[in-house]
Amino acid sequence: MSGFRTVAIVAALVVAAFLLALSDRYYMDVFILTCFYGALAVSWNMMAGLTGLMSLGHALFVGIGAYSVAWGASVQGWPPLVTWPMGVVIAVAAAAVMGMLCFRYGLRGYFFAIATLAFNEVAFFSVSASVALGRSDGLILPTSSEDSVMMLQFFDKWPYGLIIGTVLIATLAIGQYLLTSRTGYYWRALRDNEEAAEALGVNARAYKLRCFMLSAGISAVCGAFYANYVAFVDPRSVLGIDLSIQMLVYSIIGGMALLWGPLLGAVLLVPFSVLLRNISAMQGSEIIAYAVLLVVLALILPQGIAGWLTARWRRRKAAPRPEGFASVAAAEKSA
Amino acid sequence: MTALLELKNVGKAFGGLKALSDVSFSVAPDEIFAIIGPNGAGKTTLFNCIAGALAPTQGEILFQGRRIDGRPPHEICAQGLVRTFQIVKPFRGMTVLENVKVAAFARHPRPRDAEAAAHRVLAHLGMEAFAETDADELNVAQMRRLEIARALATEPKLLLLDEMLAGLTPAESAAMCDLIRALPRQGIAVIVVEHSIPVVRSLCERAVAITFGEVLAEGTTEEVIDDPRVQEAYLGRADAKVDA
If you count them, how many residues does chain B have? 244
Q: Is the pLDDT of residue A37 over 80?
A: yes
Which pLDDT does position A323 carry in this prediction? Answer: 45
Rg value, chain A, Cα:
21
Which pLDDT does position A327 carry in this prediction? Answer: 45
CB contact (8 A) between residue A192 and residue B92: yes
Spell out the alpha helix ranges (H) of chain A: 2-21, 25-48, 59-71, 80-104, 109-129, 158-180, 182-192, 194-199, 204-230, 235-239, 241-254, 261-279, 285-300, 304-317, 326-334
Are A34 and A222 in contact by the 8 Å Cβ rule? The answer is no
Q: Which of B77, B92, B129 sits opposite A200 (nearest CB)?
A: B77
Average pLDDT rounded to a whole number, residues A101-120: 92
Q: Is the pLDDT of residue A329 over 60?
A: no
Q: Is the pLDDT of residue A92 over 80?
A: yes
Tell which residue, B30, B22, B23, has the closest CA to residue B2. B30
CA distances from B180 to B46, B101, B156, B186 (A): 21, 21, 14, 11
Which pLDDT does position B48 carry in this prediction? Answer: 92
Which pLDDT does position A2 carry in this prediction? Answer: 61
Every domain of chain A and the residues it spans: 2-302
| Position A325 confidence tier, pLDDT thresholds 50, 70, 90 | very low
Give me the domains of chain B, ranges plus CATH numbers: 5-90+157-235 (3.40.50.300)
Over residues B154-202, the pLDDT tens digits come to: 999 999 999 888 888 889 889 889 999 999 999 999 999 987 888 888 8
Over residues A129-152, the pLDDT tens digits come to: 999 998 989 999 988 878 888 888
Considering only CB atoms, which residues of chain B are within 8 Å of chain A? 51, 53, 72-74, 77-78, 82-83, 85, 89-94, 98, 101-103, 105-106, 109, 111, 114, 129-130, 133, 137, 142, 150-151, 154
Over residues B47-97, the pLDDT tens digits come to: 999 999 999 999 999 999 999 999 999 999 999 999 999 889 999 999 999
CATH architecture of the domain with range A2-302: Orthogonal Bundle (1.10)
Rg value, chain B, Cα:
18
Q: Please calculate the CA angle B76-B82-B83 and round it to the nearest 5 degrees.
A: 125
| Position A224 confidence tier, pLDDT thresholds 50, 70, 90 | very high
Task: List Cβ neighbours of B178 (8 Å cut-off, separation of 6 or more).
Answer: none
Tell which residue, B68, B43, B64, has the closest CA to residue B55. B68
Which pLDDT does position A318 carry in this prediction? Answer: 64
| Position A294 confidence tier, pLDDT thresholds 50, 70, 90 | confident
* Residue A110 to chain B, least CA–CA distance (Å): 20
Distance CA A117, CA B216 (A): 52
Which pLDDT does position A277 carry in this prediction? Answer: 80
Tell which residue, B32, B35, B33, has the closest CA to residue B20. B35
Q: Is the pLDDT of residue B39 over 90?
A: no
